[in-house]
Structure 1
């Protein structure tokens, strides 16, 4: 790789990284706001909130990366054209196809990144989200115990909390335990926290009183305590298995799905569509890069407008992606649509390469330019000021 290739390669990847981080950050914030109830209503910590919402980032990158590459290629080509570097390279003997080489190298890096994310990282993050969410929603300590309500955890066990404070602290705790027929225990504590470890789940009560009524005795036993652990392991469902959906499966699990898999039996069409989407995910960066370069990579003078080419590249990439989404949806019920999606992508790459090799300059049709000029002249006559002597 020569010095010019390294310069273009670094510029493209730097622009790609900046655009990818910016777009992913904006979209991640909008997605993260939907999970804010983890902290407000379920008393989870900021670490849990950031952990769960952060695991969705690989899935966002999988969709945003090809678009970020298109923007990076457009930015690099526009920078080279503004500084007249493309014209100088062309005069030095660089053909458009030769100039495309560093962009191809950058696209290979992005495609490898997308392939890794699509086959492993994104499904791994999704399954971690599902497991983490199952632990939160299945655990009675965070799901059933709601402030101001009496929770009947068992036929003879009632718990109530007054409010939830930041950091997972429970305030105003009342426990009425009648599970043992020989005694009845009533506990009132100022506050408490939830402790989970390998031995189980415990409600750690602090600064309270315990009143025990034993059968056959007239007076209850009253004990004041500073710290008391109430065993809640029976009501925690942390160990339950989580059924994995299609997007939580790794690529090799989609390829070798078992025939007796209940999800595969019920949603075989979606399995097929998801598998083809994973295969085609690394191809989209090549299609977007080739089309963008085909519209913007040919040498032009600074007086030649690039607006039409920029608009054409955006429409081509946007149309190709929307058609891909449509084919993916239709593949669920019509497996043959997957072939249409493959053909469409590789045809777009072939057409783009043909335009690059042929050196075709994408310009607006003369009839369109004449119509625009006539319209501008008409507007100038209508709104322009007459010249004064």
Structure 2
């Protein structure tokens, strides 16, 4: 790789990284705001909140990376064209196909990243989110005990907390336990904490009173305590969860178990997801070829690039939307996956043909004439500006 190739390669990848981080960060914030109730209503820490919401980042990168590459290539080509470097390299003997080489290297790096994310990182992140969510949902101490509400955990067990304080402290705890028909226990504590260990989950109450009403006795027994552990293991057991299609690794999609209930119910979605994983690394090549085909030919600074930029955006956007449509149709029509493969290879082949042939994308003459005539009509309608 020569010095020019290294310069273009580094510029493209640096722009790609900056754009990818920016777009992913913006979209991640919008997704993370949906889970803000983890801290406000379920009493989770900031570490748990950030941990759960950050696991969705690989799935976002999987969609954003090809688009970020397209924007990075457009930025690099526009920079080279503005500084007249493309014309100088063309005059020095660089053909458009030769100039495409460093962009191709950068595309290979992005495609490898996308392939790794599609096959392992994205499903692994979604799997961890589902597992974490199942643990939180199954934990009564964080999900059911809401401040100011009476939570009936069992038919004869009611618990209420006044508020959640920093550090996981529960303030103003009330417990009414009638599970034993021979006695009724009422507990009022100033505050308490949650303790989880190998033996189970406990609500550790501090500075409170325990009142026990025994059957056959007239007066209750009142006990003041400084520390009392209330067993909550029965209500804090984890629950099983079923992995969805997006949580499966690529090898699990290639050979699903015939006894898998999800596969038996949704075989078409397994097929569509598998093809999406295979097609994900091809989109960077298609986007790179189309973008360079529209913007990579030598132009002077007097020639407008607006039409080429608009054409590249339209081509990339149309290709991605058609891909989404084919993916949806693949669920019921297996041949739709073949159409998507042909469409991507046609886009790559068409873009490479335009690059090798040196096709310059310019607006049609008829379109320019129509625009000029429209401008003249507008000027006649509103009147030409008076001469100075």
Find the residue that maps to 2:291 and give its secondary structure: helix
- Equivalent position of 2:66 in the other structure: 66
TM-superposed deviation, 1:215: 5.2
Supply the distance in 1 between the matched residues of 2:8 and 2:185 (Cα, whole angstroms).
75
- Equivalent position of 1:373 in the other structure: 372
- Equivalent position of 1:311 in the other structure: 310
- Equivalent position of 1:133 in the other structure: 133
TM-superposed deviation, 1:371: 1.6
Supply the distance in 2 between the matched residues of 1:42 and 1:384 (Cα, whole angstroms).
67
Find the residue that maps to 2:297 and give its secondary structure: coil
- Equivalent position of 2:44 in the other structure: 44
TM-superposed deviation, 1:37: 1.5
Supply the distance in 2 between the matched residues of 1:336 and 1:129 (Cα, whole angstroms).
33
TM-superposed deviation, 1:183: 4.0
Query: Which runs of structure 1 show a deviation greater than 6 angstroms over 4 or more consecutive aligned residues?
Result: none
TM-superposed deviation, 1:332: 0.3
- Equivalent position of 2:26 in the other structure: 26
Asked whether the 8 Å contact 1:161–1:171 carries over to 2, the reply is yes
Asked whether the 8 Å contact 1:172–1:190 carries over to 2, the reply is yes
- Equivalent position of 1:386 in the other structure: 386
Q: TM-score, normalised by structure 2?
A: 0.96
Find the residue that maps to 1:223 and give its secondary structure: strand
List runs of 5+ in structure 1 lacking aligned partners.
none
Provide the alpha-carbon RMSD of the alignment: 1.5
Supply the distance in 2 between the matched residues of 1:107 and 1:227 (Cα, whole angstroms).
63
Asked whether the 8 Å contact 1:156–1:178 carries over to 2, the reply is yes
Q: More deviation in 82-91 or 220-229?
A: 220-229
Supply the distance in 2 between the matched residues of 1:289 and 1:226 (Cα, whole angstroms).
69
Asked whether the 8 Å contact 1:44–1:167 carries over to 2, the reply is no
Asked whether the 8 Å contact 1:43–1:167 carries over to 2, the reply is no
- Equivalent position of 1:210 in the other structure: 210
Q: Does 1:120 align with 2:120?
A: yes
- Equivalent position of 2:325 in the other structure: 326
TM-superposed deviation, 1:226: 2.8
Q: More deviation in 240-249 or 370-379?
A: 370-379
Supply the distance in 2 between the matched residues of 1:6 and 1:227 (Cα, whole angstroms).
68
Q: More deviation in 229-238 or 342-351?
A: 229-238
- Equivalent position of 1:104 in the other structure: 104
Find the residue that maps to 2:190 and give its secondary structure: strand
Supply the distance in 1 between the matched residues of 2:376 and 2:167 (Cα, whole angstroms).
68
Supply the distance in 2 between the matched residues of 1:358 and 1:87 (Cα, whole angstroms).
17
Q: Does 1:265 align with 2:264?
A: yes
Find the residue that maps to 1:202 and give its secondary structure: strand
Summarize deviations over 1:9-54 as a string: whole Å, max 9, x none. Answer: 0000000000001100111111111111112222222111111111
TM-superposed deviation, 1:191: 1.8
TM-superposed deviation, 1:180: 3.5
Supply the distance in 1 between the matched residues of 2:351 and 2:361 (Cα, whole angstroms).
12
Asked whether the 8 Å contact 1:153–1:159 carries over to 2, the reply is yes
TM-superposed deviation, 1:268: 0.3
Find the residue that maps to 2:97 and give its secondary structure: helix
Supply the distance in 2 between the matched residues of 1:335 and 1:203 (Cα, whole angstroms).
54
Supply the distance in 2 between the matched residues of 1:257 and 1:134 (Cα, whole angstroms).
23
- Equivalent position of 1:226 in the other structure: 226
Summarize deviations over 1:87-108 as a string: whole Å, max 9, x none. Answer: 1111111110010000000000
- Equivalent position of 1:302 in the other structure: 301
Q: TM-score, normalised by structure 1?
A: 0.96
Summarize deviations over 1:355-379 as a string: whole Å, max 9, x none. Answer: 0000000000111111222222333
TM-superposed deviation, 1:166: 4.2
Summarize deviations over 1:121-144 as a string: whole Å, max 9, x none. Answer: 111110111111111112222222
When the two structures are aligned, how many residues end up with a matched partner? 387
Summarize deviations over 1:305-324 as a string: whole Å, max 9, x none. Answer: 00000000000000000000
Find the residue that maps to 2:147 and give its secondary structure: coil
Q: More deviation in 217-226 or 247-256?
A: 217-226
Asked whether the 8 Å contact 1:42–1:143 carries over to 2, the reply is yes
Find the residue that maps to 1:312 and give its secondary structure: helix
Summarize deviations over 1:326-351 as a string: whole Å, max 9, x none. Answer: 00000001111000000000000000
- Equivalent position of 2:89 in the other structure: 89
- Equivalent position of 2:247 in the other structure: 248
